[in-house]
Amino acid sequence: MQDFGKPKEVVLDKTTKRIAVRSLTEVVRRMYVAGVTSREEFRQWLSDGRVLRGVSRLFEYHQQDDMPSINQLFSVSFHPIYELVLLNYSQTAANRLHKYPKGWTDPLITCRGIVFSYEAKPRPAGISLEKAFNHHEPQSAHIFSTENHDWVEATVKHDGDLVFVFRHQHEGGDVFVATTRGSFVSPTSMLVSPMIEKLAVSNNWHDRFPPNTTLSFEFIHPDTEHVIKYDGLKELKLIAAVRVDTLLDYRYGYLCQLAKHLGVKVTEKVDMSI
C-alpha cells in the first residue's frame, strides 16, 4: 500500500480521543459479558440502576437538573452478519444537550457511529468522525481559534448522507463494511453497500485500501436527497480518512491522492485565505 503521508489530528486531541475510545471499548465489553445481542436487550441492560451508574461513569456523564439519563443519549446497532456493534449518540442528545454543553462529554462526542468488534476483548473496527458543532457553540471554540489556523482545512459540505467505510477481517476473508452513523441496516446503508462492493472490485481495494483506516464519504443519491437536488446523481465524495490505530485524521492532500487511488471523488477544498 502506497504511503500517502503523515496524518494530522483534528477536533479532539489524540490523548483525549484515545481515552474516550477506551471508555467506549469498556462499555462494549460489559455489554458482551452481559450477553446483549439486540437493541431491546440493550435497553433492558441499561434499565438496571447499577449498570446505568457504571455506564454513566464511563461516559464521564454527570446528570443534573432535568438533563436526560445516559440511557437516553446513545443507542447501538448490531451487524446482521458480522460480530460488530455500532454506538451512536441519540436524537435526544442532539435535541436536549444544547442547554447543557458539559453533557457533551468526550466519549459521547466520539459516539457518532463508532464501530467495535463484538467479542470478549473488543477493539475499535471503524472510527467515525466526532460530533460536529456549529461555530457559535462552546465545543467548537478551539477549532476556530487563531492558534489552530495553520491546520484547519475547510471543505465543501454536500447535502448527502454521511457514510463510513472500513475493512473488516473475518473467517471468510476481508470485506468492506459501509454504514451510516445510526445503523448497519439503515436505508442509506443498504443503498451504498452495493456501490462500495462494486468500487472495491473495479478498483482493487483489497490491495489499495489503506490499512487500519476508516474512510468517511458524503453519499449523494436521489433516494437520500434533503434540500439540494442533484438531478439523479449517484455519487460518493471522500471527506475524511481516520487511522484506527493512531486515531488521527489525514490532511486534505492525502485525501486527494487516496481518492484517485481508490477510484472515487473527493470533496472540494475551500480557500480560506484573506
Q: Is residue 6 part of a domain?
A: no
List own/partner pairs for 53-61 with CB under 8 A and 24 or more apart: 54/30, 55/27, 55/30, 58/23, 58/24, 58/26, 58/27, 58/107, 59/23, 59/27, 59/105, 59/107, 59/108, 60/23, 60/105, 60/106, 60/107, 61/103, 61/105, 61/107, 61/108
Mean predicted lDDT score pLDDT of the chain: 88
pTM greater than 0.85: yes
Decide if 216 contacts 239 (C-beta within 8 A): yes
Q: Is residue 272 part of a domain?
A: no
Q: Is residue 9 part of a domain?
A: no
pLDDT digits 0-9 by tens, 36-53 = 999 999 999 999 999 999
pLDDT digits 0-9 by tens, 19-28 = 999 999 999 9
Least confident range from 9-13, 72-76, 197-201, 210-214: namely 9-13
Element (H, E) at 235: strand 235-243
Q: Is residue 233 part of a domain?
A: yes
Of the chain, the percentage scoring pLDDT greater than 90 comes to: 66
Q: How confident is the model at residue 9 (pLDDT cuts 50, 70, 90)?
A: very low
Pairing of strands 84-89, 112-117: antiparallel
Q: Is residue 7 part of a domain?
A: no
C-alpha to C-alpha distance for 9 and 260, rounded to whole angstroms: 23
The string over 180-213, giving b where at least 16 C-beta atoms fall within 10 Å of a residue's C-beta and e elsewhere, is: bbbbbebebbebbbebbeebbeeeebeeebbeeb
Q: Which domain holds residue 127?
A: 14-266
Q: How confident is the model at residue 12 (pLDDT cuts 50, 70, 90)?
A: low
pLDDT for res 134: 67
Q: Is residue 3 part of a domain?
A: no
Q: Is residue 274 part of a domain?
A: no
Q: How confident is the model at residue 2 (pLDDT cuts 50, 70, 90)?
A: very low
CATH number of the domain to which 202 belongs: 3.30.470.30
C-alpha to C-alpha distance for 24 and 29, rounded to whole angstroms: 9
Mean pLDDT of 144-148: 49
Number of folded domains that form the chain:
1
Q: Is residue 159 part of a domain?
A: yes
Q: Which carries the bigger pLDDT value, residue 59 or residue 12?
A: 59
